A and B are shown apart, each in its own frame.
Chain A
């Protein structure tokens, strides 16, 4: 079957750095994406890794290792507005396979 594993919840302190891991097992692979979803809102695209390595976009970075079927999202200089759920998703064939999401709780 196809599955993505990510922690259900992560807690961090404002201003700190947090890493959200994602491991996957899929029949096809075209890249790893990350989405952010605030409570009651729509998922919004954060980043995409098609090749191994680190992609940086402002305070957010995403990493992929295809040989390990593993990736992570790194959030730096955490702000209260970063409190949300974060989903990893793998492109497989013509659609995205989604993880169950990681709820990020930020404490002041």
Chain B
């Protein structure tokens, strides 16, 4: 597609349930990021994928969070045993390459709004 696509756009779940959030980056973009944004707050880095390299998981807040990227394209963020504090908008972004080294431009999806009851 032309842009970064995320699904679902909205997800309401009960505490303790697992959720999967999907991101389809722009074709040809090797770098993919997951961020979390709480209402009125900035972007919290979660995880970074670059090509076939091992992902940088340093931003994942707990072992309930995991992510994978299949075939260097689509990525799935999984949250196990969801808690109310996991409620936020989860944003996915992609860039042609390691963004910090070039134009600093990331392309964001519209996000997945997660509400944990």
Contacts and interface: CB of A to CB of B under 8 A. Distances in A.
Contacts of B109: 42
Contacts, number: 69
B56 A30 contact: no
Interface string A84-108: 0001011111111011110000000
Contacts of A48: 103-105
Contact-residue size bin, chain B (C-beta under 8 Å from the other chain): 20 to 34
A33 B98 contact: no
A69 to B, nearest CB: 16
A87 B104 contact: no
Nearest to A89: B104
B65 interface: no
Given A48-B103, A50-B104, A100-B42, 6 more contacts: A48-B105, A50-B103, A91-B99, A92-B100, A95-B98, A99-B42
29 contacts: A28-B100, A30-B100, A30-B101, A30-B104, A31-B100, A31-B104, A41-B110, A42-B91, A42-B109, A42-B110, A43-B108, A44-B108, A45-B104, A45-B107, A48-B104, A50-B104, A87-B42, A92-B100, A94-B50, A94-B56, A94-B98, A94-B99, A94-B101, A95-B33, A95-B56, A96-B106, A98-B45, A100-B41, A101-B41
Interface of A: 28, 30-33, 41-45, 48, 50, 87, 89-96, 98-101
